[in-house]
C-alpha cells in the first residue's frame, strides 16, 4: 500500500484535495468506488420527443461562444455535426472548457433535447466518440477543484498494478460463488456488463459486512469475559444526589441510571449505548454516572466532537458538581500551552475527578492514573481508532456511548450487537412541542414574516442551507444567496452571520459564542449546527431545500430549538418530496422518525456512514443490504465457532483486521 506521495503524477495540491475526500493512500483510492453508474447509449434522434434525454456524439463545428450572465454563471454555446444533423448545444458554467473545444474536436454530449429549436441543453461534455457501443460509466463523488473524471483517471492509472487483500474466508467465497476480489475491484471501476458489475458489487459489499459483523460478534462473545472495575457504591448516596437535583428525572432517565449503576458496580466491563431523542436528558444521566464513578474512587472523562460543546458541558457540569467538591477540568486543542500543561499536571497527579474535552484527551503526552469511566457524546462522530486510543494507553475503562440519533431497535441489536442498549423515550416536563411547518419556495414571504414575528420578540433564529457534496463552491454560492436575501429583509434591524466550511475553527467558535450571547440574531450555516449546543433564546429553525436531508437529520436540527419553555418553530422549505417531509409535521418522536427514515433512505443518515463512525462502508448500505447483513451475521458466528478457522494462517489478514479495529489489541 503506497502513500499518495509515491504515486507518479500526483502533486501536493491534488494530494490535499484527495485527502479532503478521506483518500490517504492507494488502498483508499481503489476503494473509492463510484456512487452510481450511467449507461451511455447513443440516442436515435429520429425517435426523440421534446425534452427527452439525449446522448449523442459529433464534431465541433464552430468556436464556442461564452457569455457571462453574472459573476457566478456563464453560458457556452456551439454547434456539433453528428454526421446526419447540425445541433446547437447550450451548457452552463462550463466556459472554462472553451480552450479544449477547437473546431473538429470529437465529443459526446449528454443533456435534454429541445426538439422545437433543434437545441441540446447539455449537462455534460465528454471528449471522444462513444460510437454505437453501449458503455457503463461510473460516476465518482468529487470536491471543488477535483472533478470525478480526474479521480477516475488517477484510479485507472494504478488499477493495473493493484495488490488487494481478500478478507473473505475460502469457505464463504465458495458458498456464495463470490468473484475474486481483484476481479471485483476492476469490474466496479471499469464495468464490462451490468450483470457482472452487480455480482462484483455484491462480493465487495459482502466482504465489508462480513468483516464488520465478525468484529461485532467477536466483541459480543468476549464481552462477558472482560473483567471490569467493580465499585463499592451505596445506592442511597446516588439517590440523595438525584433528589437534590433542581428538577425531577423522568422514569426513563431513572431506568437508565439503574442500568448504569448495575454495570459500574459489577466486575464485568460496561459497554453501553445510551440513546435518546434530542433534549431527552441524556447529559444528566451521564453526570450521575460520573458521580457514581467518583464515589467509587475513579476519574471520568467525557469526549465530545467540538470545542463549543465541551465548553457548554463544562459550565453545566461544574454547576451541578459545585457543592460536592468535585474537581472538573477541560482539555481541548485550543487551550494555551500553559493551561494545557497545568491541566495535564493535575491529571497526572490524580487531582482531576471529571475531565471534559475533545480529541485532545487522547494525545500521546497524557497519562491517566485512575481513569474508570469514558463517556463519548454523539458516539457516531468518533471513529473506532479514536475510541480505542484509551486502550492504547494501557487503560480499559468502562464505556458509555451517547447518541441523539435514535436507531430502530431491530437494527441496533444487529449493528451494535456488542453493546447493551438503553433508550430514553420520555421527554422532561416543561418541554413544549415544536410546531413544524412545510413551506414551498413560493411561500418565502410567509416564512420571512414568521421569522420577523420571532425577531420582534427578541428571539433568535437558526437558518440551515444544505451542503452540496459535489462542490464547495456551490455551497458558498448557496450561503451567499440566502445571506443576501435575509440581509435585504432584516439587515437594517438585526445582526446576521454565517458559519461555513471555509472558516477556521476559531472563527466558527467566535460566531457561535456571539450567537449564544445574542450579539447575533440570525445564524446561517451550510453545515449541521453544532451537535448539542444549547441556545435557550433560539426559537426558530429554518431549513432551505430540506428535501436534501434525511428525516433524522432534520429532526436533530429541529431539536436545536425548543430548549426552553417558549413556543418554538421549525420551518421546512421545499418544493420536492413533500409527502416524506410531512412526517415531521405530524410527529416529534425521534424513534418513530428514525423508523420512517430507515425505511425511506437507509442507514447512512442514521448511523453516520461515510463519516467518522463505526460503519465507514465503501460500497455497502445498511438498508439496501440488510438481508445480506443478516447472512453475514450468521456466517461470521459460524466462522467464530470454528476456532481453527480463525487461527488458520490463510485468514491471518482477517484476524489482524478484526483485532485492530475491534479494540481488542
Give the pLDDT of residue 392.
59
Measured CA to CA, the distance from residue 336 to residue 342 in angstroms comes to 10
Q: Decide if 235-266+281-403 and 435-587 have a common fold.
A: yes
Quote the mean pLDDT of the chain.
84
CATH class of 235-266+281-403: alpha beta
Is the pLDDT score of 662 beyond 50? yes
Is the pLDDT score of 336 beyond 90? no
With bands split at pLDDT 50, 70 and 90, how would you rate the model's confidence at 214? confident
Give the pLDDT of residue 574.
92
Residue range 455-482: average pLDDT? Answer: 74
Q: Per residue in 197-212, pLDDT tens? A: 999 999 999 999 998 8
- H helical segments located in 101-247: 148-158, 170-176, 181-189, 194-223, 235-243
Which three cell numbers mark 76?
457556452
With bands split at pLDDT 50, 70 and 90, how would you rate the model's confidence at 614? very low
Most confident of 129-138, 184-193, 409-418: 184-193
Measured CA to CA, the distance from residue 68 to residue 71 in angstroms comes to 7
Is the pLDDT score of 414 beyond 80? no
CATH of 435-587, one of 3.40.50.300, 3.40.50.11540, 3.40.50.720, 3.20.20.60: 3.40.50.300
Give the pLDDT of residue 391.
62
CA-based nearest residue to 662, from 217, 204, 23, 305: 217
CATH of 42-133, one of 3.40.50.620, 3.40.50.1000, 2.40.50.140, 1.10.287.3510: 2.40.50.140
Is the pLDDT score of 383 beyond 60? no
Do residues 475 and 467 make contact, with C-beta atoms less than 8 angstroms apart? yes
Percent of the chain having pLDDT more than 70? 87
Measured CA to CA, the distance from residue 72 to residue 409 in angstroms comes to 47
With bands split at pLDDT 50, 70 and 90, how would you rate the model's confidence at 393? low
Give the pLDDT of residue 481.
84
Compare 430 and 383 and report the one with higher pLDDT. Answer: 430
Phi-psi region of 262 (alpha: psi -120 to 50; beta: other; left: phi over 0): alpha
Q: Per residue in 423-462, pLDDT tens? A: 888 877 767 789 999 999 899 999 999 999 999 999 999 9
Measured CA to CA, the distance from residue 497 to residue 480 in angstroms comes to 11
For the entire predicted model, the pTM comes to 0.67
With bands split at pLDDT 50, 70 and 90, how would you rate the model's confidence at 615? low
Residue range 329-340: average pLDDT? Answer: 88
Give the pLDDT of residue 381.
47
Residue range 403-407: average pLDDT? Answer: 76
Is 268 in a helix, a strand, or coil? strand
With bands split at pLDDT 50, 70 and 90, how would you rate the model's confidence at 601? low
Residue range 60-66: average pLDDT? Answer: 95
Is the pLDDT score of 328 beyond 90? yes
Percent of the chain having pLDDT more than 90? 39
CA dihedral (380, 384, 385, 386) positive or negative: positive
Most confident of 117-121, 269-273, 447-451, 618-622: 447-451
With bands split at pLDDT 50, 70 and 90, how would you rate the model's confidence at 613? very low
Neighbours of 141 (CB within 10 A): 15
Is 248 in a helix, a strand, or coil? coil
Is the pLDDT score of 649 beyond 70? no
Give the pLDDT of residue 471.
47
Lowest mean pLDDT among 228-232, 342-346, 547-551, 642-646: 642-646
Is the pLDDT score of 528 beyond 90? no
Kindly report the three-state secondary structure assignment for every residue of 4-38. HHHCCCCCHHHHHHHHHCCCCEHHHHHCCCCCEEE
Measured CA to CA, the distance from residue 490 to residue 281 in angstroms comes to 35
Residue range 2-16: average pLDDT? Answer: 85
Is the pLDDT score of 639 beyond 90? no
Residue range 568-593: average pLDDT? Answer: 90
With bands split at pLDDT 50, 70 and 90, how would you rate the model's confidence at 420? confident
Give the pLDDT of residue 665.
36
Give the pLDDT of residue 410.
65
With bands split at pLDDT 50, 70 and 90, how would you rate the model's confidence at 407? confident
* Domain layout of the chain by residue ranges: 42-133, 235-266+281-403, 435-587
Give the pLDDT of residue 518.
94
Amino acid at each position: 500500500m503506497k502513500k499518495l506521495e509515491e504515486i507518479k503524477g500526483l502533486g501536493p495540491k491534488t494530494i490535499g484535495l484527495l485527502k479532503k475526500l478521506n483518500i490517504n493512500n492507494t488502498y483508499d483510492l481503489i476503494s473509492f468506488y463510484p456512487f452510481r453508474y450511467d449507461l451511455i447509449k447513443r440516442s436515435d434522434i429520429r425517435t426523440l420527443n421534446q425534452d427527452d434525454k439525449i446522448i449523442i456524439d459529433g464534431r465541433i463545428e464552430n468556436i464556442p461562444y461564452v457569455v457571462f450572465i453574472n459573476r457566478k454563471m456563464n453560458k457556452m454555446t456551439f454547434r456539433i455535426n453528428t454526421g446526419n444533423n447540425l445541433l446547437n448545444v447550450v451548457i452552463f458554467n462550463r466556459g472554462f472548457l472553451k480552450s479544449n473545444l477547437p473546431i473538429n474536436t470529437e465529443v459526446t454530449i449528454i443533456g435534454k433535447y429541445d426538439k422545437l429549436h433543434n437545441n441540446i441543453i447539455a449537462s455534460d461534455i465528454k471528449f471522444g466518440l462513444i460510437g454505437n457501443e453501449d458503455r457503463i460509466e461510473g460516476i465518482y463523488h468529487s470536491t471543488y477543484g477535483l472533478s470525478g473524471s480526474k479521480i477516475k483517471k488517477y484510479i485507472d492509472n494504478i488499477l493495473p498494478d493493484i495488490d488487494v487483500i481478500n478478507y473473505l474466508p475460502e469457505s464463504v467465497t465458495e458458498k456464495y460463488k463470490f468473484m475474486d476480489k481483484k476481479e471485483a475491484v476492476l469490474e466496479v471501476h471499469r464495468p464490462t456488463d451490468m450483470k457482472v458489475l452487480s455480482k462484483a458489487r455484491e462480493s465487495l459489499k459482502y466482504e465489508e459486512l462480513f468483516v464488520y459483523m465478525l468484529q461485532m460478534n467477536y466483541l459480543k462473545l468476549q464481552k462477558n469475559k472482560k473483567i471490569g472495575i467493580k465499585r463499592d457504591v451505596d445506592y442511597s448516596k446516588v439517590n440523595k444526589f438525584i433528589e437534590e437535583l433542581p428538577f425531577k428525572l423522568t422514569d426513563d432517565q431513572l431506568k437508565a441510571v439503574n442500568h448504569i449503576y448495575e454495570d459500574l458496580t459489577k466486575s464485568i466491563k460496561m459497554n453501553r449505548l445510551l440513546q435518546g431523542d434530542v433534549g431527552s436528558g441524556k447529559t444528566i444521566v451521564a453526570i450521575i454516572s460520573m458521580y457514581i464513578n467518583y464515589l467509587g474512587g475513579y476519574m471520568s472523562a467525557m469526549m465530545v466532537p467540538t470545542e463549543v460543546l465541551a465548553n457548554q458541558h463544562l459550565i453545566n457540569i461544574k454547576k451541578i458538581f459545585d457543592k460536592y467538591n468535585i474537581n472538573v477540568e477541560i482539555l481541548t486543542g485550543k487551550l494555551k500551552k500553559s493551561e494545557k500543561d497545568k491541566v495535564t499536571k493535575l491529571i497526572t497527579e490524580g487531582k482531576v475527578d471529571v475531565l471534559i474535552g475533545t480529541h485532545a484527551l487522547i494525545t500521546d503526552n497524557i497519562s491517566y492514573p485512575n481513569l474508570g469511566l469514558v463517556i463519548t457524546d454523539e458516539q457516531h462522530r468518533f471513529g473506532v481508532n479514536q475510541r480505542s486510543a484509551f486502550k492504547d494507553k494501557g487503560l480499559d475503562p468502562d464505556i458509555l456511548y451517547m447518541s441523539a440519533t435514535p436507531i430502530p431497535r431491530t437494527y441496533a441489536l444487529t449493528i451494535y450487537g456488542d453493546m447493551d442498549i438503553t433508550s430514553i423515550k420520555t421527554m422532561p416536563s416543561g418541554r413544549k412541542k415544536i410546531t413544524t411547518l412545510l413551506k414551498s419556495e413560493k411561500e418565502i414571504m410567509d416564512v420571512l414574516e414568521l421569522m420577523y414575528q420571532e425577531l420582534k420578540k427578541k428571539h433568535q433564529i437558526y437558518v440551515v442551507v444544505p451542503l452540496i457534496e459535489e462542490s464547495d463552491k456551490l455551497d458558498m454560492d448557496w450561503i451567499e444567496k440566502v445571506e443576501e436575501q435575509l440581509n435585504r429583509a432584516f439587515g437594517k434591524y438585526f445582526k446576521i452571520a454565517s458559519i461555513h466550511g471555509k472558516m477556521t475553527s476559531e472563527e466558527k467558535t467566535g460566531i457561535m459564542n456571539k450567537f449564544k450571547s445574542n450579539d447575533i440574531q440570525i445564524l446561517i450555516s451550510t453545515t449541521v449546527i453544532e451537535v448539542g449546543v444549547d441556545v435557550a433564546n433560539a426559537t426558530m429553525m429554518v431549513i432551505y431545500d430540506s428535501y436534501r436531508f434525511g428525516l433524522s437529520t432534520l429532526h436533530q436540527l429541529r431539536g436545536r430549538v425548543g430548549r426552553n419553555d417558549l413556543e418554538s418553530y421549525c420551518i421546512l422549505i421545499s418544493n420536492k418530496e413533500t409527502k416524506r417531509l410531512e412526517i415531521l409535521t405530524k410527529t416529534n418522536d425521534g424513534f418513530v422518525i428514525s423508523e420512517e427514515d430507515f425505511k425511506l433512505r437507509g442507514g447512512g443518515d442514521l448511523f453516520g456512514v461515510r463519516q467518522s463512525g463505526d460503519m465507514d462502508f465503501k460500497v455497502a448500505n445498511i438498508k439496501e443490504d440488510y438481508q445480506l447483513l443478516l447472512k453475514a451475521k450468521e456466517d461470521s458466528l459460524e466462522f467464530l465457532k470454528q476456532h481453527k478457522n480463525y487461527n488458520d494462517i490463510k485468514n491471518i489478514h482477517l484476524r489482524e483486521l478484526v483485532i485492530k479495529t475491534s479494540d481488542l489489541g
